[in-house]
Amino acid sequence: MAILLLMQARGRVTAAELAGEFEVSVATARRDLEALSAAGVPVYAQPGRGGGWQLLGGARTDLSGLTEGEAQALFLLAGPAAAAAPEVRSALRKLVRALPGPFRADAETAADAVVVDPAGWGARERERPAVVDVLQRAVVRRRKVRLEYIDRARNRSSRLVDPWGLVDKDDVWYLVAGTEKGRRTFRAERIVAAAVTDEPADRPADFELAAAWGEIVDEVERRRSLLSATVLLPARLVPVLRDHFGRHSEVLETLDDGRARVRVAAPTPLMIAQTLAGWGATVQVEGPPEVRAELVRLGRELVEANSYMPAKPLS
């Protein structure tokens, strides 16, 4: 879109001019121009001295294909990112100029209608890993990436992957990529280094990032909920319990005495017990016995560790 707006403003441009304007290589600018032509945009190259690329017949684009609702939705999504990214602010200004006149005022308002503050009260905002920018360029340009990665077992390895997409899940970034062993997910915080290669990346024609991420989430959640326990607690506290267990909590029934029977789940009895230990007598665990045993053990450890010990006299 930026290339089109520049071409209609200047009439004719060269790949070198575009490379300087957008801070990319001449080869990249030439590939982008060829991609526009292949996509059906009427741009053509005129060889020789004084030549360059231009829109056929002075064709212009004003984004008139966008409806008013689509324009507002676009700026609502991009607006929060513009606060921290100069590139997004610049892109939004260019898009505003390209919009049909009646849509411009509402689009500008929509861009400033939402603020995203990812840090909770009293919490520090997680910093976005620097490697995300490298991965994002690789995804957009469809180039293979060589990763230096440290897995959960602290093993370091070098991998050449096909980057398919990036996911920001609660300020934690993940790369979804194709490997020799099929689709894999890499946590950005564990990527020590990433280098974009000139080798084209392979991406399945039917790949959809949202659908793939949904499958990944379902699999992770399945593994995290291998064991379930049934607990009783005051019904008014069920929302608080859900905050602790997320989707791994299900209200089975509400009793006449104001309590609720809830099923919670986690990979191990200890993990369930650790989450419930801070509730004290507010929560009663009906089963399984392994969870109750872990709660008893944790209670004994707390008593032993925090029992009163008289101060030793100074020698």
Rounded Cα distance, 186 and 193, in Å:
12
Q: What integer pLDDT is reported at residue 216 of this predicted model?
A: 85
Q: Where are the domains of the chain?
A: 2-58, 68-111, 131-221, 225-306
Q: What is the pLDDT of residue 315?
A: 57
Average pLDDT over residues 165-182: 86
The domain made up of 2-58 has a fold known as Arc Repressor Mutant, subunit A (1.10.10)
Say what the pLDDT of residue 163 is.
92
Long-range (24+ apart) CB contacts under 8 A made by 28-35 are 28/141, 32/3, 33/3
3-state secondary structure 42-110: CEEEECCCCCEEEEHHHCCCCCCCCCHHHHHHHHHHHHHHHCCCHHHHHHHHHHHHHCCHHHHHHHHHH
Contact 241, 262 (CB under 8 A): yes
Q: Token match 């469809």: residue?
A: 142
User: CA 116 to CA 80: how far, in whole Å?
Assistant: 6
State pLDDT tens for residues 95-112: 776 666 666 677 767 666
**CATH number belonging to domain 131-221:** 2.30.30
Specify the range with the lowest mean pLDDT, choosing from 64-68, 142-146, 156-160, 216-220. 64-68
Identify which has the larger pLDDT, 45 or 116: 45
User: pLDDT (tens digit, 9 = 90+) per residue, 5-23?
Assistant: 677 666 778 888 888 877 7
Instruction: Share the mean pLDDT of the chain.
Output: 80
Instruction: Please check the confidence at residue 62 and state whether its pLDDT lies above 60.
Output: no
Q: Domain 225-306: which topology?
A: Alpha-Beta Plaits (3.30.70)
